[in-house]
Structure 1
């Protein structure tokens, strides 16, 4: 069953690609990296595919928005850190990523989150917004073939950070209900 609003984000310790600089490509990420700060963790099914790079570059294009909201941004899939690195080196749009690409090669985190597709055991296109205490506050999951809307993720994050009631179609800068 997929983790949902109110659940704690599972404990993890995973390798991530954080740079293309030789000798500095990899870093270990854990829950400590997301504690005390809002975090957006988004998953894609596979590296070297077609929809996935459009989403990853979309998140990168909005990186400054996440940074302005003082939020961590982490991308993840069940591919290895070596596949992530090869893809970043191969795909022009991925060379300048500003956020880590987490490698869940054991699929344990995706499994704990309940986002593994049954047949291929790859992650669905899932996005989690986690508050500074490690509680999931928003979840969105898309079919494998459908890309997500990054500005909507930014909008929801900003709405959650207001701590107030936001009406239908609320956008940052508009009045809240409380």
Structure 2
């Protein structure tokens, strides 16, 4: 079975979160909410802080959409705190950073790099039922765009709230959607 449409698997992780220091997070904390699991290879690296900063700039929008963000790497929660304390970009971020040193989350989502102990650069969006709705995985040197992530989440939320409707390419909130039917076959 592919990962899209699959169920979030059980996990327990300790997170660093600015203002709260350390907290435990499980799949139960995600239940009933939209969530983003934002995997990145490692703390104290190069592309990762630029992506995380970009995600942080969109965090308020995501929260207004009812979405919680979890940054995840195979580093420990202690390493996440040290990185936040030493980096202006990371230190201003307020979403939780999950430590996955046991590789539970990276294995659950299928993004652990074999033989390296690092996660791929990957994003997963989980709906309130714990079902994975969106996946994006890029190569090591290609950073992600949080603006596009917000657009995709809006589309996923629209489709969930409007059964029988789908969002065409580059759909933005408020634009026309499609109602798949035999009448549309061959007409688009």
CA distance in 1, matches of 2:26, 2:114: 26
Aligned mate of 1:126, from 122, 135, 149:
122
Partner of 1:175: 176
Q: Decide whether the 8 Å contact of 1:4 with 1:138 is kept in 2.
A: no
CA distance in 2, matches of 1:75, 1:51: 14
Aligned mate of 1:46, from 42, 45, 61:
42
Deviation of the 1:61 alpha carbon: 0.3
CA distance in 1, matches of 2:61, 2:37: 15
CA distance in 2, matches of 1:112, 1:98: 25
- Structure 1 runs of 4+ off > 3 angstroms? none
Which structure carries more relative contact order (alpha carbon 8 Å, separation 6+)? 1
Aligned mate of 1:139, from 121, 135, 139:
135
Q: Decide whether the 8 Å contact of 1:18 with 1:25 is kept in 2.
A: yes
Partner of 2:105: 109
**Which consecutive unaligned segments of at least 5 residues does structure 2 have?**
160-164, 180-188
TM-score normalized by the length of structure 1: 0.93
Which one has the largest radius of gyration?
Answer: 2
Correspondence 1:58 to 2:54? yes
CA distance in 2, matches of 1:144, 1:138: 19
SS at match of 2:85: helix
Correspondence 1:74 to 2:46? no
CA distance in 2, matches of 1:168, 1:145: 25
CA distance in 2, matches of 1:112, 1:60: 25
Q: Deviations over 1:102-128 (max 9, x none)?
A: 000101210121101123120001100
Q: How many residues align?
A: 174
Deviation of the 1:173 alpha carbon: 2.1
Partner of 1:7: 6
CA distance in 1, matches of 2:113, 2:143: 16
CA distance in 2, matches of 1:121, 1:18: 23
**Which consecutive unaligned segments of at least 5 residues does structure 1 have?**
none
CA distance in 2, matches of 1:149, 1:92: 20
